[in-house]
Amino acid sequence: MGVMSNVIFTAKYKLKENTEEQFLEIAKELKAIVKAEGLLKYDIFKMQNKNEYCEMFVFENAEAYENYDDSDEMLSLLLSKLSDLIVEGTIEYSTYENFLED
């Protein structure tokens, strides 16, 4: 059996017009509190020249990904605020597993 592979989970979405400033405040707070056992990195990326963003979670392995719990009260509140800024029907979730071993 090989080395456990990283798992990347992404959530891509489009923001409603004129909400970028609010989004930036929420994103900074999210970045500060999103932590979990086996979560190696959490970041938010903006697509160039578009009003689209992508949250990226990099987990140590599939087990860490499966055990991730986002039920923290503060986190839930921020995610709720964030969902109010997202254009309905634009969220796309993807999960990737590294298949090349180092």
CATH of the domain spanning 7-97: 3.30.70.100
Region of residue 12 (left: phi > 0; alpha: psi -120 to 50; beta: else): beta
- What CA–CA distance (Å, rounded) separates 21 from 27? 10
Please state the pTM of the whole predicted model: 0.86
Confidence bin at 102 (pLDDT 50/70/90): low
Q: Delimit the domains of the chain by residue range.
A: 7-97
What's the Cα-to-Cα distance from 71 to each of 47, 51, 100, rounded to whole Å?
A: 28, 28, 32
Instruction: Note the pLDDT of residue 1.
Output: 41
> pLDDT of 13-66, one tens digit each?
999 999 999 999 999 999 998 988 899 999 999 999 889 999 999 999 999 999
Distance CA 27, CA 43 (A): 9
